[in-house]
């Protein structure tokens, strides 16, 4: 497994397998439901190589991994042995507020379903664009065939929802899907004159809906637990599935179907009253302004069911999807403002990267990588997103497909509504530009602090003849690589401190400075040294080599050892590392860079033993 060692560390640090009740993921985060959060070692998790940040709040215990989280999650689930049967047997020990539990359920149910929804929404947008430009006629077989993807995803939405929520609700996913398929079948869906047990059934449209099936699967889960308790075990395999289906279908048709539709109608009525009384502009404005806070709390998906309900009932969403797009572009704009304002090349790279990511609709890297740290970008998005949302609300912008982000803009011209597209583009531009300008004006707090610090140091320098500095020798002979060019974002962005990389030409890793070995990673790929001056040096041997689990490494020092500059720390088979498909670049960073005036990297292209590679200005 590619992430086995990484996942083993995560499992250990969250309190072991027995402490994990459930784990799902979104675009960048693992979302854990833990039996006892006090067992989780949050600070150690934050320090774990590969973890961007950890957020623990009322929504979930979240570990931010990055956009490869789906691969990590797939292996994690396999290692935990979580399966439909084992999940069903898991008893929920944590007592939750009913409203919070419902929000958690909706959010975690929608996360896996977003993929087909995004695909169908984007496809609808591009088909609309092709139709407008005359590339494809709306009556052509090609258009009809491609459009069937969009229509199928939303028609069979109850089936996707059933599969997604069944595990969490302790129901069999396959029985839940069977029930959903029955509801959307031509025998039941939108059929008038049906009756069961002599009771007349209302004519209901189950296709495109989501609330009735969630209620039905919840009931199925409760019934499953009950039957397991009272039906003899030797009969359960044959009898339970039959009883579950025979009981759940009529109960759904008689109770949960009508209730679900009434709830959907009630939500629509509430926002209709809000629109008629105040105007929807206030909701659009507020959501576009405050969406980053919801994402930070892990509740970014709560609006999806509301948007689905609007599209099902009205044929468009007048609030949430447009507001989400405006907010995402405002986040991108805020990071562009910081990119233009930043003077440090590492910060520029960070802000540029997360700005582009937000432009493509993934805002978590910006929120967790910059917003939480600098805080002022939140204000910039409140200004930019709020203004863009205000304009969109006043212009009654409509989202005709379940899609958001820059790539979904063409869908706003559906039904030949070109003015709607124009107003949406203007809203997005307002949000982007206003947030960029606001962020630029508000400035970067750390930069201001550093400017003040530098000014003080300049004044001090006038009084002192010279600055103290500590030179660090090269840890290995090889070719120097600027930190910004290293293929590991945790290092290249400067998030772990200033430093450099070395493409090794020797197999010997030596101490760059005298001091104490503060850490030796269990997989031997990373070594920490702390000097008498308090300088904390991290030597990271190779990229992603934690996955080698110590293979090719012969580290001869241990934590607590005292070492001298030039002393051998480890012998590494770099050829073997390369043959296994890993980058052998050795990275040296000062992890407490902010405690010093500056850390200056060498500029000579090639380094040999005893060459000065870094200089720390005290």
Residues labelled as active-site residues: 26
**Residue 159, φ and ψ in degrees, nearest 5:** -70, -45
- Range list of β-strands (E), 488-546: 498-504, 508-510, 515-520, 526-530, 536-543
Helices (H), ranges, 34-140 = 42-47, 69-80, 84-88, 98-133
Q: Are 378 and 292 in contact (CB under 8 A)?
A: yes
Torsion of CA 594, 596, 597, 603, to 10 degrees: -90
- Whole-angstrom distance, CA of residue 16 vs CA of residue 39: 9
Element (H, E) at 247: helix 233-251
Q: Are 375 and 271 in contact (CB under 8 A)?
A: no
- How many CB atoms lie under 10 A from the CB of residue 325? 29
- Whole-angstrom distance, CA of residue 7 vs CA of residue 13: 10
Question: Reduced to 3 states, what is the DSSP secondary structure of residue 515?
Answer: strand
Q: Are 29 and 298 in contact (CB under 8 A)?
A: yes
Q: Are 371 and 377 in contact (CB under 8 A)?
A: yes
CA distances from 145 to 123, 149, 243, 412 (A): 12, 7, 39, 21
The label of the residue with tokens 């496809």 reads 123
- Whole-angstrom distance, CA of residue 535 vs CA of residue 77: 40
- Whole-angstrom distance, CA of residue 72 vs CA of residue 75: 5
- % helix, strand, coil for the chain, step of 5: 55, 15, 30
- Whole-angstrom distance, CA of residue 136 vs CA of residue 380: 41
- The DSSP string of 115-145 is HHHHHHHHHHHHHHHHHHHTSS-TTSHHHHH
Element (H, E) at 393: helix 376-394
């Amino acid at each position: 497994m590619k992430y086995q060692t990484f996942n083993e560390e995560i499992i250990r640090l969250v309190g072991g397998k027995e402490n994990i009740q459930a784990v799902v993921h979104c675009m960048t985060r693992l979302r854990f439901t833990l039996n006892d959060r006090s067992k989780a070692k949050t600070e150690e998790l934050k320090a774990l190589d590969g973890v961007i940040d950890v957020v623990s709040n009322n929504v979930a215990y979240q570990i931010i991994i990055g956009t490869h989280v789906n691969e990590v999650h797939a292996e994690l689930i396999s290692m935990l042995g979580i399966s439909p049967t084992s999940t069903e047997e898991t008893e929920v020990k944590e007592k939750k507020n009913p409203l919070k539990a419902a929000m958690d359920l909706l959010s975690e149910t929608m996360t896996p379903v977003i993929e087909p929804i995004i695909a169908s929404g984007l496809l609808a947008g591009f088909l609309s664009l092709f139709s407008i430009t005359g590339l494809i006629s709306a009556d052509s077989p090609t258009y009809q065939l491609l459009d069937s993807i969009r229509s199928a995803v939303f028609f069979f939405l109850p089936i996707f929802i059933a599969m997604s929520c069944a595990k969490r609700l302790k129901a069999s996913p396959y029985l839940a899907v069977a029930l959903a398929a029955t509801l959307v079948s031509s025998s039941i869906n939108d059929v008038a004159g049906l009756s069961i047990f002599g009771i007349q059934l209302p004519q209901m449209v189950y296709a495109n809906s989501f609330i009735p099936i969630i209620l039905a699967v919840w009931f199925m889960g409760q019934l499953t637990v009950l039957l397991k308790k009272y039906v003899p075990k030797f009969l359960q395999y044959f009898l339970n599935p039959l009883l579950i289906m025979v009981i759940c279908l009529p109960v759904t048709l008689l109770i949960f179907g009508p209730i679900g539709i009434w709830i959907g109608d009630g939500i629509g009525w509430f926002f209709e009253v809000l629109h008629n009384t105040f105007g929807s502009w206030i909701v659009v404005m507020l959501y576009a302004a405050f969406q980053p806070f919801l994402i930070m709390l892990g509740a970014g998906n709560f609006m999806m069911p509301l948007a689905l309900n609007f599209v099902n009932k009205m044929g468009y969403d007048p609030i949430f999807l447009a507001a989400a797009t405006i907010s995402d572009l405002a986040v991108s704009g805020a990071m562009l403002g910081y990119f233009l304002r930043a003077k440090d090349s590492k910060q520029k790279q960070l802000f540029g990267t997360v700005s582009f990511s937000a432009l493509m609709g993934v805002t978590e890297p910006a929120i967790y990588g910059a917003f939480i740290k600098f805080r002022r970008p939140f204000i910039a998005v409140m200004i930019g997103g709020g203004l863009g949302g205000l304009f969109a609300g006043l212009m009654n912008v409509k989202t005709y497909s379940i899609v958001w982000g820059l790539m979904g803009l063409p869908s706003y011209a559906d039904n030949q509504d070109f003015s709607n597209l124009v107003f949406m583009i203007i809203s997005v531009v307002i949000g982007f530009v206003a947030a960029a300008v606001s962020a630029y004006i508000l400035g970067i707090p750390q930069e201001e602090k550093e400017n003040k610090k530098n000014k003080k140091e300049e004044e001090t320098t006038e009084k002192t003849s010279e600055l103290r500095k500590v030179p660090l020798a090269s840890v290995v002979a090889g070719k120097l690589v600027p930190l910004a060019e290293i293929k590991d974002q945790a290092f290249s962005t400067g998030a772990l401190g200033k430093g450099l990389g070395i493409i090794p030409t020797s197999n010997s890793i030596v101490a760059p400075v005298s001091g104490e070995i503060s850490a030796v990673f269990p997989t031997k790929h990373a070594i920490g040294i702390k000097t008498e001056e308090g300088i904390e040096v991290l030597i990271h041997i190779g990229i992603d080599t934690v996955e080698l689990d110590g293979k090719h490494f012969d580290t001869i020092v241990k934590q607590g050892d005292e070492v001298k500059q030039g002393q051998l720390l480890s012998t590494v088979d770099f050829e073997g590392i390369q043959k296994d498909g890993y980058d052998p670049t050795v990275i040296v960073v000062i992890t407490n860079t902010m405690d010093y005036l500056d850390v200056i990297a060498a500029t000579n292209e090639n380094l040999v033993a005893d060459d000065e590679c870094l200089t720390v200005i005290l």
